[in-house]
Amino acid sequence: MARAVLFGIPVSPGIAIGTVRFMHDMRQSEERHIPSEEIPQEQIALRAAAAGVRTALAQTMRNVPEELAEYRDVIAAQMELARDPKLLNAALARIERKGICAAWALDLTIEELCELFRGMDDPYLRDRAQDIRAVGLRIRECLAGVLPREADKGPSLLVAEDLSPADVMELDLKGVLGILTVEGGPTSHTAILSRGLRIPALVGITGLLETANENEPAIVDGLSGRVLLGPDAADLAHYTARRDEYSRWVQQTRRNACWPAEMCDGVRVRAQANLESPDELPGFAESGADGVGLYRTEFAYLKGELPTEEELFREYAAVVAKAAPQRVVFRTLDVGADKMLRSQASLKEPNPALGLRGIRFCLRHQGIFRTQLRALLRAGVAGNAALLLPMISGLGEVQSVRRILRELHEELQAQNLAHATGLPLGVMIETPAAVLICDVLARECDFLSIGTNDLIHYLMAIDRNNRHVAYLNEPLHPAVMRSLKRIIDAGHREGIGVSVCGELAADPCGLAILLGMGVDAVSAAPCFVPGIKHMIRQLRASTCQELAHSILMSTDVQTCRHMVREKLHQSLGPELAFHTTSLLGQSQP
């Protein structure tokens, strides 16, 4: 039996066996009161450490290979953080006000800023606390005179409080078999990096730094979300066999990735990819995805300055051209006040999740929105593109966008700029209001897309990252299941397609239910698409329909979970263990 078993959020699937290696110096920071005459010296030391970090990051950014060029922007943002007055001035003031050493003042400041970001409603912005902590760790190590660690020889499992792109660029990743971090979430840099590099990874592991030991043998199970520290011979034998089985399964799904996602009784579904930047297109091509079900456009707006129309046009046109003839669904700018803090002075809201975000923000800030729509219309001539509007709560919002599109068409025509006319327009169904009027929206739109993450969040009136109410983040809740069925039926009555782009689509249990409800397309990160298509080919539409009907008739979540487990085991057998699933493992408090 393993010495200890810890649990985290699986963000990159797979199984890794190796020894623990800490990325950063894990020694406790110095906590020391200082006499007044030492205050200037400590402040000078902190400024010098921050300057040293900026220099080191600049060198790292210059060494970033072209295939990971998007991480230069992240490293540049960390360089800015290392000179950000909110960080440095607050720490310098703490040294003077509290009479404490630089390291202690820095730790207190970093923790304060991280808590501020963790309290934000937007998941992407919440995960940006990782940037702050990463910079803080670097400055702390520089203060302590710790030299950057060189990659050790041999297989290892990288353990860190946080892992930033700059950290990764300084490592020899050939020796990294798995990644484990205390911080981070599904949209954190660690998650995105590990999925792109196909390294098994867990984030959000409580007690990791206190429990793990340097050079200790360990096992990362990126399928079930656990890490075994100090495994015994039986653990090693079991997970070695499971790792090899999983590896063979992955190779098989990739070899067959180009096969259609067609169920045993002939019903075909589109399995699409979710993308965040053009740099993910190689992974998209390898995944066998039937198009891009969701292209997140907001990340171009988080680099310090608002992008120009030409910059957006080049990005969108490149994506459309490389994905052609497959369709790319571009979600228009999905930001709120918090997410725009780096690029513009925007209003502060007490609850951004319920405030000016998504389409509400765009219709308020039409200069930003029209620039993006012009770029999208122009890029549409390069291939097959569609537009998707986020955070819709009323028909008037869709009609306003259609009016703006007509005006932009006339502008572009007058300027003799080539552009697409009549791009398909869809809406995200992610608010209770949109669910209740989905029949009305379906008559106004060309397709519907269900964002299950936010839909559950709003239906259940919870913050899914609040541990006190996390048990209510339950996809099998009758309200969620009935809402999904209502949306899919409404779209089909109007003869339009309905897709699902939230995490539920990548969960085998959720996928089986969605197929039974008649969804037309599902989309997930490219690394999950081959497995999704492989699973679809092993299911029967009739079986999924019976399962969905039973789920919809039941009001007991535990009974639903048992039914799903039984049906999937019948269809998938041992392969079910190779699909990352959360629906079967949740429990009530």
Q: Under DSSP, is residue 170 helix (H, G, I), strand (E, B) or coil?
A: coil
Peptide bond into 325 cis (omega under 30): yes
User: Could you tell me where the DSSP H helices lie in 70-128?
Assistant: 71-81, 85-98, 102-118, 123-127
Distance (Å, whole) CA 120 – CA 355: 12
- Which are the contacts of 126, defined by CB distance < 8 A and separation ≥ 6? 117, 118, 120, 185, 465
Tens digit of pLDDT per residue, the chain (589 long)? 789 999 988 888 899 999 998 877 655 667 889 999 999 999 999 999 988 888 888 888 777 766 566 667 677 777 877 877 778 888 999 999 999 999 899 989 888 888 777 666 555 566 567 778 778 888 888 887 765 555 455 678 989 887 776 676 666 667 789 999 887 776 566 777 777 678 899 988 989 988 999 899 999 999 888 999 999 999 999 999 999 999 999 999 999 999 999 999 999 999 999 998 887 888 888 899 999 999 999 878 866 678 999 999 999 999 999 999 999 999 999 876 344 444 334 445 556 667 788 899 999 999 999 999 999 999 999 999 999 999 999 999 999 999 999 999 999 999 999 999 989 999 999 999 999 999 999 999 999 999 998 899 899 988 765 657 767 878 899 999 999 999 999 999 999 999 999 778 888 899 999 999 999 999 988 888 999 999 999 999 999 999 999 999 999 999 998 999 898 988 888 888 887 665 654 433 3
From the list 189, 409, 457, 534, the catalytic residue is 189
CB 177 within 8 A of CB 155: yes
Count Cβ atoms below 10 Å from residue 215 Cβ, excluding itself. Answer: 10
Question: Which H or E run includes 408?
Answer: helix 395-414
Distance (Å, whole) CA 423 – CA 405: 10
Distance (Å, whole) CA 457 – CA 121: 11
Fold annotation for 4-234: Glucose Oxidase; domain 1 (3.50.30)
Closest CA to 211 of 193, 229, 223, 188: 229
pTM of the model: 0.77
Q: Identity (one letter) of the amino acid at 343?
A: S
> Number of C-alpha atoms within 13 angstroms, CB side, residue 255?
6
User: Integer distance in angstroms from the first to the last C-alpha of the chain?
Assistant: 27
β 292-296/270-275 pair status: parallel
Peptide bond into 200 cis (omega under 30): no
User: What's residue 346's pLDDT?
Assistant: 44
Rounded to the nearest angstrom, the gap between the alpha carbon of residue 468 and the centroid of all alpha carbons in its chain is 22
DSSP-assigned letters across all residues of 44-55: HHHHHHHHHHHH
Q: Which residue is associated with the tokens 């990791």?
A: 208
User: What's residue 127's pLDDT?
Assistant: 59
Distance (Å, whole) CA 163 – CA 12: 14
Annotated catalytic, 560?
no
User: What's residue 337's pLDDT?
Assistant: 39
Question: Which H or E run includes 159?
Answer: strand 156-160
Rounded to the nearest angstrom, the gap between the alpha carbon of residue 455 and the centroid of all alpha carbons in its chain is 16
From the list 501, 509, 527, 560, the catalytic residue is 501
Q: Which residue is associated with the tokens 């629906």?
A: 583
Rounded to the nearest angstrom, the gap between the alpha carbon of residue 47 and the centroid of all alpha carbons in its chain is 34
